[in-house]
A and B are shown apart, each in its own frame.
Chain A
């Protein structure tokens, strides 16, 4: 599904990703772990197409296409979703209207008909029930005045509604208490399978107790220094990232 080869990216004059290789197959859940400033979030944003980051080398192919040729919205329309570490506020735009606009923009790009209002509302109610979100969030303005946890939950709501083929969740667990974390995990687990792939970007092992990854990668200073199975996460939890500091240099 996704094949990243020797990816290098920089912002301004500073190279942040120094050659990333990563393959993700349909249906797989990968976790990328690493200390702050290792380039985890950069990887997510480069995958989503944010122009602030200049790709200086390497390739990314996604479902057989050269991802780097596609604009931000084209990537989204082809099923790439980025769960934001810091979700953005849009005053005056209600949550349900935002979701419907996004959903229809994607459907239109894929040559599908617009979603019917009744159908949309049914899906929205189901997703909100799963995430234990009060129905007043439908009419609240997108992320405006939401707490950190509410914003993250709202990201997962968008994920559930947009049903992407490939989702990158950037630090979705940060700022969440255990209850919220479980709810978020429930949302992600509900979408697992069916050829859908996930890339979880996280600082802590905590999230991975609720969403079990197939593969774990350790990203330190812009390079993947180690890859393994779920056990690697447990190991990192006890030993931390310090041992990779030297290795990365």
Chain B
């Protein structure tokens, strides 16, 4: 972790300290039972949740950081991190777009983000953002009519404790892994979605609309439940680069689908990747898992990962219900000195369960990227089927791409297919496109977008367009 950021955290925290009143912004650095209690108290949580956090914390203390991923970074001092930082007061943020970093605005411009959204994304005080409040209100009313619950995690704990208590940790148990345990102990906030039986959520849910989600920060917790024959499409993140002062991110996302339920979860992750020399940037250590609990349920992960200095992320599906379906479609782009170790795990438990994995990795600059996948078929998963395709595209000759597929089948009737390719953007392709009048940069974008086609077509329309533009921005200067 960058020394400067630690120093900054330390400095800021000490300004306030433990003894300051309730208005204090940050907890002092360090992690102890006291910290966990502090966070829980700040959030006015019920006892059961505090106990849940404390038990996660005790487990975490006995765990060690995983080192199997193909990423390198200096050791993280978990005692130097501050684990609580209240959402910033909007009045302290920029008051107008004139006060926002021009480089950030330039990126918004390239991404074609509408002017009023740019302000919101840049963290301009809410009252300077036209219409956002009314948008959120209309949106909430429509959802309430349909019976869909969509709120912050903290609200859900207060208003729907029985649901939270029933499902929290049921897919990613607190002791699942080092980062999940850490998150369980200190998670700040996140999103909660509940779609009752038979309801198709009338709109795509996006964290972007939930303005208060903007500063939920470091240890986000998301829980999405769809009941029998219900459906939701959830979009995570926005396509603007989030400049975040927190370097370490360890989120947990849990999805649960009951009989015939379906969840489509799309992510476009564009956190700060660090500069061209690898300085700064977010460490993104995320645990995302979906449980296809009911028969014929379906969970689909679609992700476009272009940001973060280090990505450690494996959105997975546990296919428990008979005939349930898991899907993973991923585009990961790394440039400069970024490192990404990402992939998925499909765990076939129920009979006739099916899974599809399509992973497209694009490496440029001096970046390193790994696909890590596991397909596991249990004895009861007769006639399970998996198709995996993972393709790597290299730009230039200083980057690297690796593939670590793991396949373990304990049922002889299962059918598993794995295809993998590695290719380069060829000089011939570039010459061909340029001969037709395209600039070299446009040609690379065209070729790369073609390479990602199989994944982009699974993104909601508007996201797909933004993802294409985002790719262009991420790969700027990758050739020539």
Contacts and interface: CB of A to CB of B under 8 A. Distances in A.
Do A and B belong to a common assembly? yes
Interface of A: 48-50, 52, 71-73, 75-77, 81-82, 84, 87-93, 98, 101-103, 105-106, 109, 141, 158, 162
B447 A101 contact: no
10 contacts: A52-B427, A73-B434, A76-B437, A84-B435, A90-B432, A90-B447, A105-B438, A105-B439, A105-B442, A106-B437
A93 B439 contact: no
Contacts of A106: 436-437
Contacts of A48: 431, 435
B227 to A, nearest CB: 37
A44 B111 CA distance: 38
A93 B440 CA distance: 16
Contacts of B429: 88-90
Contacts of B454: 92
Nearest to B432: A88
A199 to B, nearest CB: 14
B428 A88 contact: yes
B450 interface: yes
A98 B437 contact: no
Interface in B407-440: 426-429, 431-440
Contact of A109 (B432, B437, B450): B437
Given A91-B451, A105-B439, A72 B446 contact: no
B442 A76 contact: no
Contacts of B447: 90, 93
A102 B452 contact: no
Interface in B427-480: 427-429, 431-440, 442, 446-447, 449-454
Contact of A72 (B431, B449, B452): B431
A207 to B, nearest CB: 21
A236 B451 CA distance: 46
Nearest to B423: A91
A102 to B, nearest CB: 4
Contacts of A101: 438, 442, 446
B440 A73 contact: yes
A154 B453 CA distance: 21
B435 A72 contact: yes
B437 A77 contact: yes
A93 B450 contact: yes
A82 to B, nearest CB: 5
Given A48-B435, A102-B433, 13 more contacts: A48-B431, A52-B427, A73-B437, A73-B438, A76-B437, A81-B435, A84-B432, A87-B432, A88-B431, A91-B450, A91-B451, A92-B452, A109-B437
Contacts of A89: 429
B431 to A, nearest CB: 6
B267 to A, nearest CB: 21
List the 5 closest pairs (A to B, CB-CB), nearest first.
Answer: A92-B450, A92-B453, A102-B436, A93-B450, A106-B437
B450 A72 contact: no
A68 B442 CA distance: 22
A50 B453 CA distance: 28
B446 A76 contact: no
Contact of A98 (B446, B452, B453): B446
A49 B437 CA distance: 12
A169 to B, nearest CB: 13
A77 B437 CA distance: 5
A102 B433 CA distance: 8
Contacts of A49: 435
Contact of B434 (A76, A84, A92): A76
B435 A82 contact: yes
B451 A92 contact: yes
A76 B452 contact: no
A72 B443 CA distance: 12
Contacts of B438: 73, 101-102, 105
Nearest to A91: B450
A101 B428 CA distance: 18
B469 to A, nearest CB: 14
A76 B450 contact: no
A92 B449 contact: yes
A158 to B, nearest CB: 7
Residue of B427, B431, B437, B450 with most partner-chain A CB within 10 A: B437
A197 B77 CA distance: 70
A71 B443 CA distance: 14
A88 B432 CA distance: 7
Contacts of A91: 450-451, 453
Contacts of B428: 88
Contacts of B442: 101, 105
B436 A141 contact: no
Given A92-B449, A141-B450, A76 B436 contact: yes
Contact of A105 (B426, B437, B450, B453): B437
A91 B439 CA distance: 19
B450 A162 contact: no
B96 to A, nearest CB: 33
Nearest to A86: B428
A158 B439 CA distance: 17
A48 to B, nearest CB: 5
A93 B435 contact: no
Nearest to A162: B436
Nearest to A89: B429
A72 B451 contact: no
Contacts of B437: 73, 76-77, 102-103, 105-106, 109, 162
A93 B446 CA distance: 7
Contacts of B452: 92
Contacts of A82: 435
A113 to B, nearest CB: 15
A92 B421 CA distance: 15
Contacts of B434: 71-73, 76
A76 B442 CA distance: 14
A54 B451 CA distance: 32
A46 B271 CA distance: 44
B395 to A, nearest CB: 15
